[in-house]
Amino acid sequence: MARPVTMFTGQWADLSLEELAKKMAEIGYDGLELACWGDHMDVFKAAEDLEYCKKQKAILKKNNLQLFAISNHLAGQLVCDPNDDSRSDMFAPQDCAGDAEKKRAWAVDAMKATAKAAKNLGLGVVNGFTGSSIWHMLYSFPPVSDQMIEDGFKHFADMWNPILDVFDECGVKFALEVHPTEIAFDIVTAKKALKAIGNREAFGFNFDPSHLHWQMVDPVRFIKEFPDRIYHVHMKDAALQLDGFSGILSSHLNFGQPDRGWDFRSLGHGGVDFEEIIRALNRIGYTGPLSVEWEDCGMERFHGAAEACEFVKNIDFAPSNVQFDDAFDK
């Protein structure tokens, strides 16, 4: 078994899909995971126009690339985010800027359209974010009551259940990338998120070990805790750089700054144990794509993309269907 190796196009949206597909095919990728920004995937068009869907898929097919999933992280973030500062203005149309609820309403429509787009593309999985109305309460000062946290999970359920109803209607699953600033950012909050929506099958996870690793949460434990909810897999590495000077909260330093307590790394250059992850994915029977999300401020990106493709193909292996000592009985 060789799982398909794909590239998430989110960090490459400055390139046209035509240009990117050609380059990633030359590197050796099996497919692309299309981001719903740039010119890679317009979900409002794809939700209504089958010819547009055929056109986008034809670009991949021309380059012998497959499509397994689309990802709408930016719109998903606005569904539950407070949206109360200019950071999120860039995620929505310009006429939503500065208006928290207008951004939210647009985002809800966008996520419903994303489910319909996936159906029209013949896909079963959409990856993305949910946002969180309570992330800013992470450190409990001023004091945060238990009720405030429960209200945040209820708000998530109230906002996302109608979206997930559309996913169900379309026969598509939503895979949350468990990540700081989302309603679920570790194992405990992932369990609470599932409980909040009644464990409905439409909602699962896009497993990305990098976001767990720097929080010192065991990525393999995450797979063990949610064996039936791993709907998609991102391959991304991270490195802890704690030297007694800076901390895990990153000191308001941007990615790539030398004094940060942690940073994302190109695959194989961080601390994530990918062999154990492959073994865990084998145990749960995951056969979907291994999708590279390439982020490394210290490496030229095309070099990193090529190296990452080779890394994933080398680290992936099929599970054994025999006990190694069975032959002793023969």
For residue 8, the model assigns a pLDDT of 98
pLDDT at 1 over 60: no
Confidence of residue 320 (pLDDT cuts 50, 70, 90): confident
What range defines the domain where residue 150 resides?
5-329
Confidence of residue 293 (pLDDT cuts 50, 70, 90): very high
pLDDT at 327 over 70: no
Q: Which two tokens stand for residue 36?
A: 């719903």
pLDDT at 323 over 90: no
- For residue 142, is the peptide bond before it cis, meaning its omega torsion is within 30 degrees of 0? yes
pLDDT (tens digit per residue) in 9-42: 999 999 999 999 999 999 999 999 999 999 999 9
Q: Domain count of the chain?
A: 1
Confidence of residue 75 (pLDDT cuts 50, 70, 90): very high
| Average predicted confidence (pLDDT) for the chain | 96
For residue 321, the model assigns a pLDDT of 78
Task: Give the pLDDT mean for 65-80.
Answer: 98
For residue 322, the model assigns a pLDDT of 73
Count Cβ atoms within 10 A of the Cβ of residue 102 and give its class: 0-12 exposed, 13-18 middle, 19 or more buried. Answer: middle
What percent of the chain is modeled with pLDDT above 90? 96
Residue type (1 letter), 305: A
Q: Are strands 237-240 and 262-265 parallel, antiparallel or unpaired?
A: antiparallel
For the whole model, what pTM was predicted? 0.96
pLDDT (tens digit per residue) in 215-263: 999 999 999 999 999 999 999 999 999 999 999 999 999 999 999 999 9
pLDDT at 129 over 70: yes
For residue 132, the model assigns a pLDDT of 98
Task: Give the pLDDT mean for 296-325.
Answer: 92
- The set of long-range contacts for 99-103, using a CB threshold of 8 Å and a minimum separation of 24, is 103/78
3-state secondary structure the chain: CCCCEEEEHHHHCCCCHHHHHHHHHHHCCCEEEEECCCCCCCHHHHHHCHHHHHHHHHHHHHCCCEEEEEEEHHHHHHHHCCCCCHHHHHHCCHHHCCCHHHHHHHHHHHHHHHHHHHHHHCCCEEEECCCCCCHHHCCCCCCCCHHHHHHHHHHHHHHHHHHHHHHHHHCCEEEEECCCCCCCCCHHHHHHHHHHCCCCCCEEEEECHHHHHCCCCCHHHHHHHCCCCEEEEEECEEEECCCCCCCCCHHHCCCCCCCCCEEEECCCCCCCCHHHHHHHHHHHCCCCCEEECCCCCCCCHHHHHHHHHHHHHHHCCCCCCCCCCHHHHC
Confidence of residue 329 (pLDDT cuts 50, 70, 90): low
pLDDT (tens digit per residue) in 138-187: 999 999 999 999 999 999 999 999 999 999 999 999 999 999 999 999 99
CATH, residue 125: 3.20.20.150
